[in-house]
Structure 1
């Protein structure tokens, strides 16, 4: 997805103004994460934003409501709109990750995603060895095949198949909380996988380990499934260190 438009005033004719609606909220989010409106600062008044960007007050209010729902700002009666601490932002939100991009997908967030995966995925793999249906194992195998068959250097296709593999694995665990967690962390997990996949010249080892997990589920071998999952995570940790 393209980067959010740059937030610029009307007087700067060299840069495009954001359009209404979604473009404006994306531009405002980007301006916040890039430091134009730092944490703890107060955003310009609604009427000032309207005049600066030639947009209606309705558009401004909807944008502020959207950012407030994602934990980025807080409206205060008679005091304006405060930019909240980054620790309070919902950085697992798919929209924020799209709008703010690399500015928020940093080493700290990637490490946190990896820690969450370490806490969940090996046990999910064990459960899947006992609980996965034949259809789920077939779906996992199909995702693995898509990873294997992705064209060399087609990181987008490889990551899409990789992310689908992990979604299916959590569903196959039969644990409803894990399934819900999959939806919550999906956008951040996909970003983390994409970063890791782009950091290596070859995906052969990743494909091999994922294949071993599929085979462990076919054989209903829970210890082997856990070992394969843990090796995936060790590989992800190595890639994260490379990125750092």
Structure 2
């Protein structure tokens, strides 16, 4: 495809800083204004359309390239890569692209990853967690329990913290690293699940059972509780969909 001209650049609010521009360009891509395999407008056309410098445009393109969204090629321009190549676990992309990329497929993939990791991590944590780990997990559970009804943001923040602490308490360095990699996507998945129900009482209850299993150093009970948490999440996500 030939590069688009300035006339084909969609009208958007003028961004004030580079980060606003890269977010605007990312949204334009995910919304299909620049489909997979298409060529983005030339740098000069983007400069004109958004009233920004070429330096800002180039930095934005480098950012999107580092996240797998585009690929720059000499003499052919900047191509939009297939969505399968995008780093959809990246916190910036999830923030910029929002619900357009947090679809049922991504949510299902996050749940599958959790099923593969969390039950075993919980079992390990039952034997390895320090007293401070268990205290931190209990504090996160209390924050879930004490979140005001309807305050889904506070509940999800505490829920995400609970699962970060759990993976850390496993003592497995790979699980700890994985926690950082999937954190943004996990938070989005928890948010979708938590917003699908009117009451969080059951979710609080099953998380409480996991805390108690770690206190008792009962690995089998911890695995069962983790599996029950995941079953609850699966049902809530189905309700959301």
The answer to whether the 8 Å contact 1:147/1:162 transfers is yes
Match of 1:41 in 2: 38
1:162-181 matched pairs, under 5 angstroms: 162-181=159-178
Closer/same/farther in 2, CA of residues 10 and 82 from structure 1, 3 Å limit: closer
Match of 1:16 in 2: 13
Answer yes or no: is 1:137 the counterpart of 2:117.
no
Q: TM-score, normalised by structure 1?
A: 0.94
Match of 1:30 in 2: 27
- Unpaired stretches in structure 2, ≥5 consecutive residues: 1-6
SS at structure 1 position matched to 2:24: helix
4+ residue stretches of structure 1 with deviation over 2 A? 8-12
CA shift for structure 1 position 215: 0.3
The answer to whether the 8 Å contact 2:9/2:46 transfers is no
Match of 2:66 in 1: 69
CA shift for structure 1 position 20: 2.5
Match of 2:212 in 1: 215
- Unpaired stretches in structure 1, ≥5 consecutive residues: 1-7
Distance 1:10 1:226 in 2: 52
Q: TM-score, normalised by structure 2?
A: 0.95
Distance 1:67 1:11 in 2: 18
The RMSD of aligned alpha carbons is 1.4
The answer to whether the 8 Å contact 2:9/2:41 transfers is no
Match of 2:120 in 1: 123
Distance 1:171 1:37 in 2: 40
Aligned equivalent of 2:229, options 221, 232, 235: 232
Distance 1:108 1:11 in 2: 28
The answer to whether the 8 Å contact 1:9/1:53 transfers is no
Match of 1:4 in 2: none
What do residues 21-46 of structure 1 show as CA deviations (whole Å, max 9, x unaligned)?
00000000000000000000000000
CA shift for structure 1 position 11: 9.8
Closer/same/farther in 2, CA of residues 11 and 113 from structure 1, 3 Å limit: closer
Give aligned pairs, total.
235
What do residues 95-126 of structure 1 show as CA deviations (whole Å, max 9, x unaligned)?
00000000000000000000000000000000
Distance 2:191 2:71 in 1: 32
Distance 1:11 1:183 in 2: 35
Answer yes or no: is 1:201 the counterpart of 2:198.
yes
